[in-house]
Amino acid sequence: QKSAEIAAEEAAAGGINWTFAPMVDITRDARWGRVMEGAGEDAFLGSKIAEARIKGFQGDLSSNKNIIACAKHFAGYGFAEAGKEYNTVDVSDETLHNIIFPPFKASVNAGVRTFMNSFNQLNGIPATGNKFLQRDVLKGAWNFQGFVVSDWGSIKELVTHGYAKNNNDAAEIAINAGSDMDMESNVYVKHLNDLVKSGKVNETTIDDAVRRVLKIKC
């Protein structure tokens, strides 16, 4: 918690108000290149470290020394097959609910303001376009009130996964699945207006995403 407090103070002094941390992915394959960024292989320890880092980064957000935290990567990123970055993730419900989810639930309970989704597929569906993860679990069962940002270019990568036909289709899938902010793909700014006009995306869906983002910014 103290290390996150120091990092937040230094970042805030430089004009930064949001960090893409903590990474709360549980992993059990040392071949995965990002093992040093997370808390290891134990869900309980990972949950406690997630909570501590979030409290350190955010404090009560009334001070100019605190910054917004972002729990990532939702979800399953640390279980990529053979430890290969971006690889498929195929896990049981038991592993998902008892190993992968707990640090993310702890992050919500600790008051984290933002979530980042992940590059990987989870049981056949890319996380960025996964309604079960983002709407049913995170915003539904867990009542998360912040916003979800895509990982770097991950909305456009729905096409690479073969889950979307093109960028327009990717934008439709991602926003309807609950990805509120598009990082780097630029497909929202290019396609959402037309998707709303065509009726493929409900205007209330956009309103919800915008409301979540503005609430955090304020």
- Give residue for tokens 């065509």: 198
- β-pairing verdict for 147-149 and 70-74: unpaired
d(CA 172, CA 49): 35
Q: What is the b/e burial string over 146-168, where b = at least 16 CB atoms within 10 angstroms of the residue's CB?
A: bbbbbbebbbbbbbebebbeebb
Residue 36: partners with Cβ closer than 8 Å, 6 or more residues away: none
Q: Which residues does the annotation mark as catalytic?
A: 151
